[in-house]
Amino acid sequence: MRVFSGIRASGDKTLGNYSGGFRQYVRTQEEAAAAGGEAVFCVVDMHSITTPFEPEVLRESTLSVFAWLIATGLDPDRSIVFVQSHVPAHSEGAWLLGAVTAFGELRRMTQFKERADEQDFVSAGLFTYPVLMAADILLYDTDVVPVGDDQRQHVELTRDIAERFNQRFGETLVVPRGVYPEEGARVKNLQEPDRLMSTTRGAPQGVVRMIDEPDVIRKKFKTAVTDSGREVKHDPQEKAGVSNLIEIMAVATGASIAEVESRYDGAGYGQFKEDVGEAVVTLLTPFRERYDELRSDEGALLGLMKRGAENAAGVANPTLDRMYERMGFVRA
């Protein structure tokens, strides 16, 4: 059983990215191992150039996302963790799969339509993005693709592409299955609990970054917005701020919402906010220390990337060879 996850390198590295991203990847790693399988994690840098980008930002965010993946618990000895552009089979595979992808299918992709509407310059790469994503998945004989609901259409297209390839050229590719896990807590801005925690929008004081020092984190929680009541009760409609803090406490400690509520029954907001801050410091500090260590030695980090790429190529290259051969390419 093989699980494949594609991870976009973004600038955002907040508590929200931990809750909705890094934490889930570690879970995927453990679940794959428990099922006697293997998980593959790919930083999809080649997808990043399909919308406007800056070279320095691409470079920095690739290094940073990779380091965070390791720092938060992906284990290069048990999983394959690598950068897409380090394994040329991805771009080659995408080209081959272009032969069994219809123009009309790509034109129907809602993500393409949405993104294209946001841009002055709509690149050809944005249009063929789903074909590269299909190559990512299919090169690894992937059984399961855990993704957000927004990627459902792309995974369905990947299945259609695989089936079409198999029909046309003979059984070659494993047809993968998408799984769409319930999104866990969606962490909100501590100052504006009606919007998601993001570095691109919202009050910076309400954004907990994964690189924040302990005292910075404590202060952000101390000044978090609550309400005029005093009950630590989960009620996202009426008590957005407090509910967000309860959810963060649950993420940081592994407790359930109900457990957090009962533990703080009658405690008042002051103590609660302080404790949530402390729990987040305890959660993030080891990650940040490991991250700093990884970023302080770029040679070692590149070495980890190289090892991941070698492991990835060991799986992807034989699949790519099979594709070339079945399609009638002369292999010298």
Hey, what's the torsion of the CAs at 93, 45, 126, 152, to 10 degrees?
Answer: 80
**Strand segments (E) across 130-280:** 144-146, 177-179
In 3D space, the residue among 201, 213, 204, 188 whose CA is nearest the CA of residue 291 turns out to be 213
* CB-based contacts of 206, cutoff 8 Å, min separation 6: 189, 190, 191, 192, 197, 220, 224, 225
The residue assigned the tokens 């048990």 is 78
Please give the size of the binding site for ligand TRP, defined by CB under 6 A: 13
Distance CA 18, CA 23 (A): 6
In 3D space, the residue among 172, 177, 147 whose CA is nearest the CA of residue 162 turns out to be 172
In 3D space, the residue among 82, 27, 86, 89 whose CA is nearest the CA of residue 251 turns out to be 27
CB of 90 to ligand TRP, least distance (A): 9
Q: Report the residue from 145, 249, 276, 294 that binds ligand TRP according to the rule CB under 6 A.
A: 145
Distance CA 188, CA 232 (A): 17
Exposure b/e, 62-74, CB count within 10 A at least 16 = b: bbbbbbbbbbbbb
- 177 is a site residue for ligand TRP (CB under 6 A): no
In 3D space, the residue among 59, 1, 61 whose CA is nearest the CA of residue 29 turns out to be 1
CB of 303 to ligand TRP, least distance (A): 24
Nearer to ligand TRP, 151 or 226 (CB): 151
- The whole-angstrom distance between residue 330's C-alpha and the CA centroid of its chain comes to 38
- 108 is a site residue for ligand TRP (CB under 6 A): no
3-state secondary structure of 39: strand
Binding string, 25-44, against ligand TRP, x = CB under 6 A?
-------------------x
Q: Which stretch binds ligand TRP (CB under 6 A): 22-30, 133-141, 217-225, 259-267?
A: 133-141
CB of 155 to ligand TRP, least distance (A): 7
Q: Report the residue from 126, 133, 157, 249 that binds ligand TRP according to the rule CB under 6 A.
A: 133
- 94 is a site residue for ligand TRP (CB under 6 A): no
Binding string, 254-293, against ligand TRP, x = CB under 6 A?
----------------------------------------
CB of 137 to ligand TRP, least distance (A): 5
- 50 is a site residue for ligand TRP (CB under 6 A): no
- 239 is a site residue for ligand TRP (CB under 6 A): no
Residue showing the smallest CB distance to ligand TRP in the complex: 6
Token duo for residue 198: 């993001």
Q: Which stretch binds ligand TRP (CB under 6 A): 62-70, 143-151, 202-210, 226-234?
A: 143-151
Nearer to ligand TRP, 4 or 18 (CB): 4
- 109 is a site residue for ligand TRP (CB under 6 A): no
Spatial contact of 14 and 198, defined as CB atoms under 8 Å apart: yes
Tell which positions 8-27 bind ligand TRP, by CB under 6 A. Answer: 8
Binding stretches for ligand TRP (CB under 6 A): 4-6, 8, 44, 47, 133, 136-137, 145, 147, 151, 154
